[in-house]
Amino acid sequence: DTAVSQTPKYLVTQMGNDKSIKCEQNLGHDTMYWYKQDSKKFLKIMFSYNNKELIINETVPNRFSPKSPDKAHLNLHINSLELGDSAVYFCASSPGFGSTDTQYFGPGTRLTVL
């Protein structure tokens, strides 16, 4: 049983296009996240939702818009894709927003912008 799943696993697209990445968790967690891992493997949080409410919104271009239709899903939509958006995007979830709540990561979506 996959705990945190993402689709698609790979996404190759042209500059200027709009794309979405979907994330679902079946752990019953209240909190979900989006992270970006760049080519040097640096992991940085982009967004966090708790019970469908946005609680962390890092300095991310407005072209990135998260949407949480329900507690189990957090999708990421990216408008007007740029070369610099190429990265691996990870979704994660945790039971809550407490300081010791373990975050469980999905398998990642490798986005390549040509």
Look up residue 12 and give its two tokens: 């190759």
Q: What is the largest CA-CA distance in the chain?
A: 40
Radius of gyration of the chain (CA): 13
CB of 104 to other proteins, least distance (A): 8
Q: How many CA atoms lie within 13 A of 43 on its CB side?
A: 8
Under the criterion CB under 8 A, does residue 99 sit at the interface with other proteins? yes
Residue 18 DSSP one-character state: -
CB of 83 to other proteins, least distance (A): 22
Under the criterion CB under 8 A, does residue 49 sit at the interface with other proteins? no
Measured from the CB atom, the residue of 34 and 85 that comes closer to other proteins is 34
Measured from the CB atom, the residue of 17 and 112 that comes closer to other proteins is 112
**Which member of 13, 45, 65, 73 binds other proteins (CB under 8 A)?**
45
Closest CA relative to residue 67, chosen from 57, 77, 58 = 77
Under the criterion CB under 8 A, does residue 40 sit at the interface with other proteins? yes
